[in-house]
Amino acid sequence: MFEGHPRRDRRRGLVREKIAVASRRDDDRHLAALNRKLRGATVAVVLVTHSHPDHLPLANRLARQHRATVRRYPELEDGDVVRAGNLNVTQLHTPGHSSDHLCFWLDQDRALFTGDLVLGRGSSMVTYPEGDVAAYIRSLDRLAALKPRMLFPGHWDPVNDALGKLSEYRAHRLEREAQILAEVKRGPATAQELTQRVYGGELAEDLVAAAEMTLRAHLKKLVDDGAGHTRGSDEEVFEAAGIVGE
């Protein structure tokens, strides 16, 4: 949540307007905590980074309670500025985690609200078919070019070393891509087989499906880049470029 300087209203006197960024699952306890923080303030707008269920539903509930508007992509376009008092928040379309993902940039503070593009810990999910690894890397590069001072992720704690975190996330994606390409070059395989070869036994049972969808997103980039191709109709087999299937 962030706040512009107070303004004077003829009927209500001094009014403090806030912009809220929705970043939690639809949970009564979190909604109550937000309202405690907002006591005495006017919510001008609720910004939504993307439409996943741990972001949008709570935003709608919060906005209804405060008679605020909910703003998100594609109504908000890249470069649009939302204003509350003297506060200007620039919208950045940053696809990759999802196609409709926005980050919010406060140029005067060099602060960046990153939604699920960058988290406070661990790595962000980029899963097939919605996730796009190539777009994700481009979005990270775009954020790094802004040279932000601080990141405010949609989950977990703020990040003080903003450029270090962006560099870490970019390196992680490229390292995973190189690992997957090395396995594809080792021999043709289905996505399920490649998941086992890349991740081995390090994954808990409930994470295997998500890992496969992440791997599929990387495979799509490799195919689009010309580093690999697929064959087969019933079950796709992925091969490195230059290999002709039997």
Query: Tens of pLDDT along 39-82?
Result: 767 788 889 999 987 777 888 888 888 888 999 999 999 999 99
* 187 domain residue, yes or no: no
* 137 domain residue, yes or no: yes
Give the per-residue pLDDT at 243: 55
Give the per-residue pLDDT at 128: 95
Query: Tens of pLDDT along 77-109?
Result: 999 999 877 788 999 999 999 999 999 999 989
pLDDT band at 3 (very low <50, low <70, confident <90, very high): very low
Does the structure show a pLDDT above 60 at 165? Answer: yes
- DSSP assignment of 54-121, as one string? TTHHHHHHHHHHHTPEEE-TTTS-TT-EEEETTEEEEEEE--SSSTT-EEEEETTTTEEEEETTS-SS
- Averaged confidence pLDDT in the chain: 86
Quick check: 133 and 217 in contact, CB under 8 A? Answer: yes
* 83 domain residue, yes or no: yes
Give the per-residue pLDDT at 203: 79
Does the structure show a pLDDT above 60 at 2? Answer: no
pLDDT band at 22 (very low <50, low <70, confident <90, very high): low
Residue 70's CATH number = 3.60.15.10
Residue 145 three-state SS: helix
pTM over 0.95: no
Q: Looking at the DSSP assignment, which residues form a beta bridge with residue 172?
A: none
* 62 domain residue, yes or no: yes
Containing domain of residue 112, as a range? 2-178
- Among residues of the chain, what percentage have pLDDT more than 70? 86
Containing 181, the helix (H) or strand (E) segment is helix 162-186
Does the structure show a pLDDT above 60 at 9? Answer: no
* 188 domain residue, yes or no: no
Does the structure show a pLDDT above 50 at 246? Answer: no
Give the per-residue pLDDT at 59: 85
* 74 domain residue, yes or no: yes
Q: How many CB atoms lie within 10 A of CB 139?
A: 24
Does the structure show a pLDDT above 90 at 205? Answer: no
Does the structure show a pLDDT above 50 at 127? Answer: yes
pLDDT band at 17 (very low <50, low <70, confident <90, very high): low
* 172 domain residue, yes or no: yes
Does the structure show a pLDDT above 80 at 14? Answer: no
Which strands form 17-22's sheet, in the order they lie side by side?
2-3, 17-22, 42-48, 69-71
* 232 domain residue, yes or no: no
Total tally of structural domains belonging to the chain:
1
Does the structure show a pLDDT above 60 at 202? Answer: yes
Does the structure show a pLDDT above 60 at 200? Answer: yes
The alpha carbon of residue 170 and the mean position of all alpha carbons in its chain are separated, in whole angstroms, by 13
